[in-house]
Structure 1
């Protein structure tokens, strides 16, 4: 009888644990004690699962911070974050520590499956040695490994974990089959068994690298068209009438995947002596968009005879995508930081964000009160995230909280008559 342990109960781990709990006995492990306590009380602050969904699997899942509670599992699935450091280098600390911890409870014939995004080789070259050292056992003799990259889309209630086709891989052919069958038992969309763990690792990291490069192209086009006085969105709509045109919109590239994963691939490429100029160039373009938007806002204010120092600017939305509380690697803060460099007073409002949660991701405070319910006036308003609440705002709404000659900066293309649109 399989008992599955999910290590890491964030946006990836919790939905996966709940999906497995419908068919197996599951223990969800996380080092964040408040998180575990909330889940035991049927509350998920990521909003990926509601109370009803948590209650549904309550009898077959245990949430814990205690290592003793995971000792009797025979399949360990690691879903911890794989961030980058301040120099854009992979930070494998969560993976290493998770592997060391699992190694202390590893038993004969156990399988450890990694879902975290990494560069090709991490599972077998970084994680496996940690498992062997901590357990005293031999890889592919006493214990085995698999890799099945996560494809969670935070906030998406349609493409949930079981409805997204899953790549699987194992450390030998028999384990590859076993890992594939395990995921097939819950993934209704089916699986794709990769030829090796490295192939599966590479497939995952290029999924988001491809999107990053494509978005960078559109962002660069937006910068070019802006200097020409052409509306980029009008250009895209026209070009998209061709059947094979990839329709993407310009914007900020943040989040836990697209803005991070390419650095895992470029790190490994450079380590091997290859300079990935296209990928790094795309990263540079996308990372510069926040600064460009802030500068454009300042220029529009100057053109309208508005003071810059001590001006009041409102930023609507701070999450990395719409209708989701996820703040990881949000690039809206780049806009805020740049505006504050000019001496502007910046208020940030986002109805989706837990105010306490913001403190763990960046240093800016968020407004507790809806700005449209106050008497404060703003010299400029930047719509940074396309939350449904913001799509319902009217020209009169914006006018009601603006000083004379209102300036509306629209990053997401949801305002009817903006002063400037990316």
Structure 2
């Protein structure tokens, strides 16, 4: 018998713990001991299969993971956090256990149901040791947890996909709503009436989405921009700050 440990029991980690613990022996670990669920004494000495990493990315992320590997001695690592591109590659170079990257999709307030809704993408480096074992075991865990899975070519593809095609794209859509709201106000026209012109185009073509023109807050869209060194995406934060000033008028 083996067990898994979910590290970081926040908005991503706790739903993961709830999902995995239903079908596999799973324990939780967090720097806040109050968040750690009670575990059975009989499972204390079980070997650890995977460490599921769901802690926020920081400058200490890689060193924290290496420290956790030394502490728990797992057979493999699965990173569920949003991370800086090339992080998986850099960690794999330093670790003797396989490192899987599996980006998380979903809205925090309904994360558990969203995890069940979306296919869980994952990837592993070609140089990873025990690569086939790690992918097989992780795919099996997802299957028994009723989560669809899809393995893609490389971690860097998935690291970029999470930032470029998910959170930043969402931010850009909101940016356009912000800009169109400011333009509507400038000419003293109704925002919703103006956008109604695109309703049928959106209905038939699906390429004119109307977003709510709100300020982008939270800890996904804007913070994730800092993970990628791409000046072309800086405009998302600039327009958001411009809209913040507009709201204060």
1:103 aligned onto 2:62? no
Among candidates 55, 58, 64, match of residue 80 of structure 1: 55
What does the per-residue CA deviation read over 1:125-183, in whole Å, with 9 as the maximum and x for residues that have no partner? 1x345x63xxxxxx3xxx11101111131112784322221111123451334333332
Among candidates 264, 287, 290, match of residue 227 of structure 2: 264
TM value normalised by structure 2: 0.84
Counterpart residue number, 2:87? 122
CA shift in 2, pair 1:19/1:74, >3 Å: same
1:253 aligns to what SS in structure 2? coil
**Contact 1:166 / 1:187 at 8 angstroms: preserved in 2?**
no
Higher helix share: 2
What does the per-residue CA deviation read over 1:43-71, in whole Å, with 9 as the maximum and x for residues that have no partner? xxxxxxxxxxxxxxxxxxx39xxxxx688
Per-residue deviation, 1:98: 3.5
Counterpart residue number, 1:28? 28
CA shift in 2, pair 1:283/1:94, >3 Å: same
1:194 aligned onto 2:152? yes
CA shift in 2, pair 1:2/1:158, >3 Å: closer
Counterpart residue number, 2:140? 181
**Contact 1:149 / 1:168 at 8 angstroms: preserved in 2?**
yes
What does the per-residue CA deviation read over 1:100-143, in whole Å, with 9 as the maximum and x for residues that have no partner? 22233325xx0101011113211221x345x63xxxxxx3xxx1
Counterpart residue number, 1:10? 10
Structure 2 residue runs of 5 or longer lacking an equivalent are none
**Contact 1:7 / 1:29 at 8 angstroms: preserved in 2?**
yes
Distance 1:231 1:98 in 2: 51
Per-residue deviation, 1:219: 0.8
Distance 1:202 1:2 in 2: 32
TM value normalised by structure 1: 0.52
Structure 2 matches for 1:137-286, cutoff 5 A? 139=96, 143-156=97-110, 159-172=113-126, 174=132, 175-188=134-147, 190-206=148-164, 207-242=166-201, 243=204, 244=206, 245-265=208-228, 267=229, 269=230, 276-277=231-232, 279-286=233-240
What does the per-residue CA deviation read over 1:240-291, in whole Å, with 9 as the maximum and x for residues that have no partner? 22122212121111222112212212x2x4xxxxxx33x1112211133333
Figure out how many residues of one structure are paired with residues of the other and give that number: 236
CA shift in 2, pair 1:20/1:158, >3 Å: closer
RCO higher in structure (CA 8 A, sep ≥6) = 2
1:229 aligns to what SS in structure 2? coil
Distance 2:62 2:106 in 1: 18
1:259 aligns to what SS in structure 2? helix
**Contact 1:169 / 1:180 at 8 angstroms: preserved in 2?**
no
Distance 2:136 2:155 in 1: 13
1:102 aligns to what SS in structure 2? helix
1:113 aligns to what SS in structure 2? strand
